[in-house]
A and B are shown apart, each in its own frame.
Chain A
């Protein structure tokens, strides 16, 4: 059992402690942190869901969840510049949406 898990829900940071009410939360791209007696372990989750069960178990479902030290900051900066430019030059709704997703994810990756 850990002390608390903080997940990046679409509605804001969600802190889950033992005894938390059963919850389903959609996650946005961002950092989740697991706090226990030994300190904090952080992961970047690409998107997904957090399922908190009534018995104090929580499942975090994500397509990609990586420890922060695996992220290459220079690639993030390049991506951020590229997608910021794409948002402005995009024509169709779909292209705009894809570029906006790019900006959102790259900004989130840039945050730690």
Chain B
């Protein structure tokens, strides 16, 4: 059972490549999450209504971000796609 899971041994001793080549998006400096979100956005933009509007609604974000300086939080900045009330 140990031999089955020691993929490192197969690479070292038998010269078998156990890993896949790096995807083009990672080679360009993109992370998987960014890649996956871009794919999802492309799919959403190709949907028929009303599914398209519902799906694009899922991309909306609303959050507060505050930078810390000298151990204290500065005033938070709110980033939002929702309508201002």
Q: Does B16 contact A (CB under 8 A)?
A: no
Total B residues in contact with A, Cβ cutoff 8 Å:
24
Nearest B residue to A48 via CB reads: B36
- Range class of the A interface residue count: 20 to 34
Q: Does B65 contact A (CB under 8 A)?
A: no
Q: Report yes or no: A46 in contact with B40, Cβ–Cβ below 8 A.
A: yes
Q: Which residues of B contact A96 (CB under 8 A)?
A: 28
Taking Cβ atoms with an 8 Å cutoff, the residues of A that contact B are: 10-11, 29, 44, 46-48, 63-64, 66, 70-72, 75-76, 79, 93-94, 96-98, 100-102, 105-106, 109
Q: Report yes or no: B40 in contact with A66, Cβ–Cβ below 8 A.
A: no
Q: Report yes or no: A100 in contact with B24, Cβ–Cβ below 8 A.
A: yes
Instruction: Identify which of B27, B28, B29, B36 contacts A46 (C-beta below 8 A).
Output: B36
Q: Report yes or no: A64 in contact with B55, Cβ–Cβ below 8 A.
A: yes
Q: Report yes or no: B43 in contact with A66, Cβ–Cβ below 8 A.
A: yes
Q: Report yes or no: A71 in contact with B47, Cβ–Cβ below 8 A.
A: yes
